[in-house]
């Protein structure tokens, strides 16, 4: 498994997939829809899929001494690795905003605060990327445009709804600042993590089934 | 000893059907898989490698069904389907550094010998190689992990006569070491030079699978070359 992941990282990946991880640091920006950072990370991954397709990566992988399902596993592992790196940067940004950045620009932020609820939504966005785009890709191992457009619509809907939620009376606590409402925030984060793993696992299994019967 | 068994492979496309393709490959023999363009050679080979999902039929290697033993079997076989068409802008040395990690039996010395023989500069990228050189690179990769069975789709296409001759000599060397070589071709003179067995496919159906000597004895007229025999047979099938 280490070999297929190494292949993904050194041959299949685009440099943009790595560079766009740093959009996770957008969680530091006050007065900005921070979840766009998660979207930009997926945009970097999309560029990687495009690059790999042009390089005939799937045919190359099919010729390696691995099972077809391992090709799917390698790609999912790589995508999750990039996502976790971005999530780590987002988590660090949240901790900095909780502990260091206390200026009025952060306190009077009219948009969504970068808190653990926001991080759980980033988990959700990545889970849906894995389901719609990565899972969808393995139906043809070639077509990527339509699946990414569907993901963009879903992703921006989530961002829009998320930004609106805390303005609804009774849901203000979703936008807690600093260490306020930490138990609730952590429960929401846990829910996001569980959703991520369940959806990603389901997507991986379905992608394996789709790819197995695909003619290359 | 039978090392590869293909049984009843069938694959239907809109305008082509691979029908009930069955044959066996024996250890330490060179088998030429011959047929005109579009006869079903590549579909058969891709089905043997799990790249095409047949509607029915089965493939087994070393008495193990391919389905369920894909990774273990692929480690013991070498294969190339056409020329190198992947990672055109990556250096060959970087691509090979990844490939060789997948094989426990990778022989770096043999790989370097083939690079020297084929005059391939591994600091180049695939897009800097001619089509013939790409075929040679693919072959070097297929040969470097000392496989028991070598499956090659049109390996001599695009090669100059000297390289083709070199390649056919390599096939003979491999056979002498006990390797089974299975290669598809539409160049009948390749078969004349080195094949022990001939599998002849036309319009998706196996017409014959037998030793070359038996094939010529059965079908060739007096003084007729193998190429003329197959051309005559193809004409007969085509007109049938």
Nearest CA to A166 out of A184, A148, A139 is that of: A184
Partners of B79 on chain A (C-beta within 8 Å) are: 63
Rounded Cα distance, B131 and A12, in Å = 23
Buried b (16+ CB within 10 A) or exposed e, B104-114: eebeeeebeeb
Rounded Cα distance, B209 and B86, in Å = 33
Rounded Cα distance, B91 and B94, in Å = 5
> Is residue B240 scored above 60 in pLDDT?
no
B98–A6 C-beta distance less than 8 A: yes
B75–A56 C-beta distance less than 8 A: no
Calculate how close chain B gets to A14, using CA atoms only, in Å. Answer: 12
> Is residue B140 scored above 70 in pLDDT?
yes
Task: Please tell me the pTM assigned to this model.
Answer: 0.88
> Is residue A106 scored above 80 in pLDDT?
no
For all residues of chain B together, what is the average pLDDT? 87
* pLDDT confidence tier of residue B83, bands split at 50, 70 and 90: low
Between strands B205-211 and B197-202, the pairing is antiparallel
Q: Which residue has the higher pLDDT, B180 or B177?
A: B180
pLDDT for B163: 80
pLDDT tens across A50-64, in order? 999 999 999 899 889
Residue of A5, A48, A65, A142 to mutate when probing chain B, most B C-beta within 10 A:
A65
**What separation in angstroms does the CA of B172 have from each of A92, B27, B32, B177?**
62, 13, 13, 9
Q: Which residue has the higher pLDDT, A64 or B156?
A: A64
CATH architecture of B2-239: 3-Layer(aba) Sandwich (3.40)
ipTM (interface predicted TM): 0.84
B81–A63 C-beta distance less than 8 A: yes
Calculate how close chain B gets to A185, using CA atoms only, in Å. Answer: 43
pLDDT for A164: 92
pLDDT tens across A180-192, in order? 888 999 999 999 9
pLDDT for B47: 93
Confirm if A73 and A138 have CB atoms less than 8 A apart. Answer: no
B70–A11 C-beta distance less than 8 A: no
Rounded Cα distance, A27 and A129, in Å = 19
pLDDT for A93: 95
Cα-to-chain-centroid distance, residue B238: 24
Fill in the DSSP letter of residue A138.
T
Buried b (16+ CB within 10 A) or exposed e, A21-32: bebbebbbbbee
Q: If you measure CA to CA, which chain A residue comes closest to B101?
A: A3
Q: If you measure CA to CA, which chain A residue comes closest to B80?
A: A63
For all residues of chain A together, what is the average pLDDT? 93
Count of Cβ atoms closer than 10 Å to residue B51 Cβ: 20
pLDDT tens across A128-178, in order? 999 999 999 999 999 999 999 999 999 999 999 999 998 898 888 888 888
A66–B70 C-beta distance less than 8 A: yes
Partners of A56 on chain B (C-beta within 8 Å) are: 85-87
Calculate how close chain A gets to B218, using CA atoms only, in Å. Answer: 37
pLDDT for B236: 63
Partners of B88 on chain A (C-beta within 8 Å) are: 55
* pLDDT confidence tier of residue B73, bands split at 50, 70 and 90: very high
Partner B contacted by A9 (CB < 8 A): no
Q: Which residue has the higher pLDDT, A203 or B218?
A: A203
pLDDT for B30: 94
Confirm if B233 and B207 have CB atoms less than 8 A apart. Answer: yes
Count of Cβ atoms closer than 10 Å to residue B68 Cβ: 10
pLDDT tens across A147-157, in order? 999 999 999 99
**Six token digits for residue B146:** 């000392």
pLDDT for B238: 43
Q: If you measure CA to CA, which chain B residue comes closest to A210?
A: B53
Q: What integer is the mean pLDDT of A90-100?
A: 92
Partners of A63 on chain B (C-beta within 8 Å) are: 49, 79-81
Partners of B75 on chain A (C-beta within 8 Å) are: 65
Question: How many residues does the structure list for chain A?
Answer: 216
- Please report the DSSP string for chain B in residue order: -EEEEEEEEEEE-SS-EEEEEEEEEETT-EEEEE--TTSSHHHHHHHHTTSS--SEEEEEETTEESTT-HHHHHHHEEEEESS--S-TTS-HHHHHHHHGGG-TT--HHHHHHHHHHHT--TTS-GGGS-HHHHHHHHHHHHHTT--SEEEEESTTTT--HHHHHHHHHHHHHHHHTT-EEEEEES-HHHHHHH-SEEEEEETTEEEEEEEHHHHHHHHPPTT--HHHHHHHHHHHHHH-
Q: If you measure CA to CA, which chain A residue comes closest to B51?
A: A216
The contact set of B with A (CB < 8 A) is 46, 49-53, 70-71, 74-75, 79-81, 85-90, 94-95, 98-99, 101-103
Q: What integer is the mean pLDDT of B231-238?
A: 68
* pLDDT confidence tier of residue B136, bands split at 50, 70 and 90: confident
* pLDDT confidence tier of residue B208, bands split at 50, 70 and 90: confident
Q: Percent of chain A, pLDDT > 70?
A: 100
Find the CB nearest A10 among B75, B89, B94.
Answer: B94
A10–B98 C-beta distance less than 8 A: yes
Q: If you measure CA to CA, which chain B residue comes closest to A5?
A: B98
Partners of B50 on chain A (C-beta within 8 Å) are: 62, 68
Q: What integer is the mean pLDDT of B84-109?
A: 91
Partners of A55 on chain B (C-beta within 8 Å) are: 86-90
What are the sequence ranges of the domains in chain B? 2-239
Calculate how close chain B gets to A197, using CA atoms only, in Å. Answer: 27
């Amino acid at each position: 498994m280490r070999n297929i992941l190494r292949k993904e990282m050194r041959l299949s990946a685009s440099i943009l997939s790595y560079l766009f991880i740093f959009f996770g640091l957008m969680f530091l920006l006050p007065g900005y829809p921070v979840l766009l950072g998660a979207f930009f990370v997926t945009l970097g991954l999309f560029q990687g899929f495009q690059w790999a397709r042009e390089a005939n990566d799937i045919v190359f992988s099919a010729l390696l001494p691995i099972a077809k399902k391992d090709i799917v596993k390698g790609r999912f592992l790589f995508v999750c690795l990039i996502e976790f790196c971005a999530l780590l940067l987002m988590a660090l940004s949240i901790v900095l905003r909780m502990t260091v950045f206390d200026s009025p620009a952060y306190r009077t932020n009219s948009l969504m605060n970068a808190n653990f609820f926001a991080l759980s939504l980033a988990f959700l966005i990545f889970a849906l990327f894995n389901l719609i785009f990565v899972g969808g890709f393995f139906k043809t191992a070639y077509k990527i445009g339509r699946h990414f457009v569907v993901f963009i619509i879903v992703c921006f809907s989530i961002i829009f709804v998320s930004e609106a939620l805390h303005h609804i009376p009774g849901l203000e606590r979703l936008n807690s600042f600093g260490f306020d409402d930490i138990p609730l925030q952590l429960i929401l984060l846990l829910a996001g993590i569980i959703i991520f793993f369940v959806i990603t696992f389901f997507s991986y299994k379905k992608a394996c089934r789709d790819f197995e019967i695909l003619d290359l | 000893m039978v090392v590869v068994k293909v049984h009843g492979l069938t694959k239907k496309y809109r305008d082509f059907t691979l029908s009930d393709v069955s044959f066996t490959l024996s250890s330490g023999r060179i088998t030429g898989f011959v047929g005109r363009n579009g006869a079903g050679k590549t579909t058969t080979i891709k089905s043997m490698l799990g790249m095409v999902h047949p509607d029915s039929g089965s493939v087994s290697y070393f008495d193990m069904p391919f389905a369920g033993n894909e990774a273990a079997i692929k480690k013991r076989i070498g294969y190339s389907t056409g020329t190198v068409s992947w990672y055109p802008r990556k250096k060959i040395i970087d691509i090979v550094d990844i490939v060789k990690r997948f094989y426990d039996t990778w022989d770096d010395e043999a790989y370097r010998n083939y690079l020297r023989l084929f005059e391939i500069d591994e600091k180049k990228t695939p897009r800097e190689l001619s089509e013939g050189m790409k075929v040679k690179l693919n072959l070097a990769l297929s040969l470097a992990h000392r496989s028991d069975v070598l499956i090659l789709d049109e390996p001599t296409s695009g090669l100059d006569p000297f390289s083709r001759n070199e390649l056919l000599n390599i096939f003979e060397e491999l056979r002498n070491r006990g390797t089974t070589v299975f290669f598809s071709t539409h160049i009948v003179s390749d078969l004349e030079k080195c094949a022990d067995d001939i599998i002849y496919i036309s319009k998706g159906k196996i017409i014959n699978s037998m030793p070359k000597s038996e094939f010529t004895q059965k079908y060739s007229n007096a003084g007729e070359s193998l190429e003329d025999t197959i051309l005559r047979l193809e004409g007969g099938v085509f007109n049938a």
